[in-house]
Amino acid sequence: MEPPPLALVSLVLLCSAGLTRSLSITSVDQSMFEKAQGEKVTLPCTFVLSEEDEGPLDIEWVLIPADNQKKEQIIIMYAVDRIYNNYYAAMTGRMQFTNSDPKSGDGSLDILNLKSTDTGTYQCKVKKAPGVQSQKIQLTVLVKPARTKCSVEGPQEIGKDVILKCVSQEGSPLLSYNWRRVSGIQELPVASTLNKNSGELLLKNASQAYSGTYSCVASNRVGTDECSIELNVTPPINTAGVIVGAIIGTLLGLFILAFLVFCCCKKQREKKYEKEVHHEIREDVPPPKSRSSTARSYIGSNRSSLGSMSPSNMEGYTKTPYSQVPSEDFERPPGQNPAFAPSKYDIAHKIGDITVV
């Protein structure tokens, strides 16, 4: 194969020299960024123009999707001396050019209040005919550990195995957990095993010397979070004594309940008996006699006695005064006093010293 003509080689070298003198991007030091959620990031894109670049300047930031089947998403653009930042609704109000005049050679992008969904590959494109340059930057937004909780699993008794657990409710992987003792002896017990991935601290054959305050620190590449817990190792509980006490207490409670029920039943029976006795007494008592019947029976008995008397046996008889006639046991209302009918006998006969009507 014959070598290319010298003239052609010279032309290629001249074109290459011309390209190196055209538009170039200078911010190539860092192509990967890791930031925490809620922070701010500046994606660099500085460039230098050459005298040969005479066309209009265009600066464009795009988000390259992880799926190659999807199209690139324009985020912000500078063209014809104007800034257009309404292309990507997910970042509206959270992005801007670092320099308010990008044509000065700084097309860097600021993203505020980062979210985990902002993770992706970003590309800066700078165009000024005939020069065209681009740069890709990988952004990873991580979530700091948060809402970390500590807990104890297992009985806190002497001779038992106790597990201290530590879990963060939020946080991007990879999370790492580390336990430490913050009271008394600062070092962890010798008979302890730490799992930094799960956050579990196993304390075997616990003793009272293990008691104290323990702290757990959860961490990842962008932040840390902490929680603490109090461990109190006590002697084993006397299970037999607890059971006996529970039984005695239960029996005592049942006895008191039975006594109260007995007292209530007895009181009810007494009330019922009193009502029955009172009712029987009222049924046995005869009704009271009226005044008129009492008086008539008394006078009638006297008259019958008088009628049977003969002059011979009238001697020594003493006439009963009317003042001794039984009176009624109650008072009559005014105007209801009985009116006695006049006597049938208008003539009185006197026999000896006695007058008979």
> Is pTM, for the whole model, over 0.75?
no
pLDDT given at position 287: 58
Helix (H) or strand (E) holding 16: helix 6-20
DSSP states of 280-347: HHHHHSPPPPPHHHHHHHHHHHHHHHHHH--TTT-TT--PPPGGGSPPPSSPPPTT-PPPPPPPS---
CA proximity to 207, closest of 161, 253, 248, 243: 161
Of the options 3.40.50.300, 3.80.30.20, 2.60.120.10, 2.60.40.10, the CATH number for the domain spanning 146-231: 2.60.40.10
pLDDT tens by residue, 97-119:
999 999 999 999 999 999 999 99
CA distance 121 to 127: 20
Asked if pLDDT for residue 172 goes beyond 80, the answer is yes
Instruction: Spell out the domain ranges in the chain.
Output: 24-142, 146-231
Q: Please provide residue 108's backbone torsions phi and psi, each rounded to the nearest 5 degrees.
A: -60, 155
CA distance 204 to 162: 6
Asked if pLDDT for residue 286 goes beyond 80, the answer is no
Q: What is the mean pLDDT of the chain?
A: 79
pLDDT given at position 318: 47
pLDDT tens by residue, 174-209:
999 999 999 878 789 998 999 999 999 999 999 999
For the 24-142 domain, the top CATH level (class) is mainly beta
Cα–Cα distances (Å) from 206 to 151, 216, 233, 332, in that order, read 16, 19, 7, 100
The yes-or-no answer to whether 24-142 and 146-231 have a common fold is yes
Give yes or no for a contact between 210 and 178, defined as CB atoms under 8 angstroms apart. no
CA distance 230 to 191: 18
pLDDT tens by residue, 10-38:
333 333 334 445 789 998 888 999 999 99
How many helices (H) and strands (E) are present in the chain, helices listed first?
A: 3, 20
Give yes or no for a contact between 52 and 63, defined as CB atoms under 8 angstroms apart. no
pLDDT given at position 351: 54
To the nearest whole percent, how much of the chain has pLDDT over 90?
Answer: 50
Q: What is the DSSP letter of 30?
A: -
Q: Is the peptide bond prior to 130 cis by the omega test (within 30 degrees of 0)?
A: yes
pLDDT given at position 28: 83
Contacts of 161 (CB under 8 A, 6+ apart): 154, 202, 203, 204, 205, 206
CA proximity to 136, closest of 21, 23, 33, 221: 33
